[in-house]
Structures are given as structure tokens and as C-alpha cells.
Amino acid sequence: MKDGLLLIDKHEGCTSHDIVASARRILRLKKIGHCGTLDPAATGLLLLTVGRATRLTRFLIRAPKVYEGSARFGITTDTYDTSGEETSRQGTAELTPEAIDTAMESFVGNYLQTPPPYCAKKVGGVKYYELARRGEQTPDEKKEVTVFEYHALEPWQRDQDLDFLLSCASGTYARSLVHELGQMLDCGAVLSRLRRTRIGSFRIDDAVDIETLRRHLSPEDEADAPAAAATPTTSAWIPFDDIPLPFDEIVADAQQERRIQHGQSVLIRDLASREGDWIKVLNRRHQFIAVGSVVERIGTGGVGVVQPKVVFH
């Protein structure tokens, strides 16, 4: 069992890559990746793909995210959070909980967001934060993002940080949301805390921290490192065949399985998915054998052609 998903509760002060590097040392495996970066100051859920599951990153990384965080009003920084250098300070005497609630609600839906200057987004192969550290201007390129929920967890009290919940599509920057909230309220704001609690159907309650992973890997477990390491919280380790993906799944018969293993398309009946949709393909032994795409719908009787795009041998 060296292929699957490992749910990690990232601690503050390390990068997502640091967590991946630690997991590689602990599990004695090189083929480990992650599905969605967390800033060093942020904590919470990080999905690690192990072994063959690294080929699923592009499907898992698009899942919606849920965060709990805190905003501090009356200040701005160059990083849009409390780790950066202060760029302005304003009073909050006119600020009210009602104004905050109204402003936060206005971000719900689709809107054009500007990434923070210090982020891993690239332009011409160079990351924004590399440009910012050199004192160069980062591009003011807006990107459409989707916010499902953005609201205070409790009414704001003067001289205190505001605790909030954010549910959003992949690619949304919480730091930019807080910065833009401060701009809308004419007082400035920075992100003072962020914790990711959910990615798609995966929850932080099922995750283990990296030290728990380290402590529970004993020498006799080395032959089955990932499964053994996740023993304290069984739900932290999801075997490859059981990884839930954000699209439908089908079961191939023996003949279809042979065709799929050779990269050949198959005719599927009782197909609910639409043309262009992705499909998870299992065989009759419940083994995950491929990710395919519906390339053609035939008639109106639920028949379609599925072309394998990622095949697992």
C-alpha cells in the first residue's frame, strides 16, 4: 500500500514543500506531491498524493476549499497579512459590524481578484514573490474567482480581530479577499490567521500532523510505511482504489478492462455523464484502473464512448 492519499494537518511556520519533504523522509518514498499550497503562516488540511496517486493531482487540486481565518482592521502590509511590512495605518472609529457584514456579502459569487504581490503565481516563469523581493512591480492581472461563503463567525468587536469563514473555488486568495475587504471599508485590513478545514470532501478532522506521522512509524512498519503511519487516525490514509474524485465512476467488464489497459476507447451503457466529462474507471475487483473522458454520447439511451486518458497498470 504505497499508493494513495495522506491527509496532513500542516503546522504554522513551514511551507507546503517542507511537509512534502518531511513525508518523503518519513515514508522513505520519493514520489509524493501535494494538492494546493498553504502559505507558511497558514495551518490546516494538506492533501499529499503518494505513489500512483501523484497522477491525480490535476483532478484533486481543483476541489473547492473551506477556511477559517481572522482579519485585522486598520492596517495594511505589503504581503496582505501580518507577516509583512506595514504600509499604512488608519482608524476604525467609523467601522461597524453591519458595514463589515454588508461588505463581506458583496464578495459572494464570481468576481475579478488581484493576486497578492507575495504569492507563488508565476509570470514569464518567475514567481510573484521573487519579483516583489527584488523590488519589482508585480502584474496587476485580475482573475475571476468564485466565493461561495464569506461571513463573520461572530459580530466584530472594536480593537479585536474578526473571525470569519470562507468557502471558495480553487485559485482564490484569502489574503486578497481580506485586503480588498479593508479597501471597501476605507480602513485597510490584513489576514492575521488562516486555517484550511476542508478540500472537497476531505476534512481536517481526518488528518494527522507530521509529528504524529513520524512517531507512529516504527522499524517493523517500513515495508508498509504509509498505511502504518496513518494507523492512529485510519481516515488519514486513503488507499489508491478508494480515492474519491469529483466526478462519476463506472465499472468496466473484463473485455473493456483489456481495451482500457491498451489505451483504447470503450462503449459504456447507462452512462449519466455528459460529453467532455471525466470518469473514474474501476474493474470488477474494485481496482482503480483509469481516468477517462466521455468523448461521445450516442443517442438518448445513456450510451457513450469513454476514452482512457490516464491508465494505471
What interhelical angle do 97-105 and 174-184 show, nearest 10? 130
Residue 183 identity = Q
> What is the pLDDT, as a whole number, of residue 233?
47
Residue 34 identity = H
Q: Please check whether the domain covering 4-62+201-240 is classified as CATH 3.30.70.
A: yes
Please identify every residue annotated as catalytic: 39
> What is the pLDDT, as a whole number, of residue 116?
84
Q: What is the DSSP letter of 95?
A: -
With H, G, I as helix, E, B as strand and everything else as coil, classify residue 96: coil
First to last CA, the chain: 15
Count of C-beta atoms within a 10 Å radius of residue 67: 24
> What is the pLDDT, as a whole number, of residue 117?
78
Write down the CATH number for the domain with range 65-199. Answer: 3.30.2350.10
pTM above 0.85, yes or no: yes
pLDDT in tens, the chain (313 residues): 489 999 999 999 999 999 999 999 999 999 999 998 899 999 999 999 999 999 999 999 999 999 999 999 999 998 999 998 999 999 999 999 999 999 999 999 999 998 887 666 666 665 655 655 656 556 677 889 999 999 999 999 998 999 999 999 999 999 999 999 999 999 999 999 999 999 999 999 999 999 999 887 754 554 555 555 444 446 899 999 999 999 999 999 999 999 999 999 999 998 999 999 999 999 999 999 999 999 999 988 889 999 999 999 7
> What is the pLDDT, as a whole number, of residue 231?
46
The per-residue DSSP string of 137-191 comes to PPP---EEEEEEEEEESS---TTSPEEEEEEE-TT--HHHHHHHHHHHTTS-EEE
> What is the pLDDT, as a whole number, of residue 240?
96
Spell out the domain ranges in the chain. Answer: 4-62+201-240, 65-199, 249-311
> What is the pLDDT, as a whole number, of residue 216?
78
Q: Please check whether the domain covering 249-311 is classified as CATH 1.10.10.1800.
A: no
Distance CA 216, CA 111 (A): 45
Distance CA 209, CA 212 (A): 5
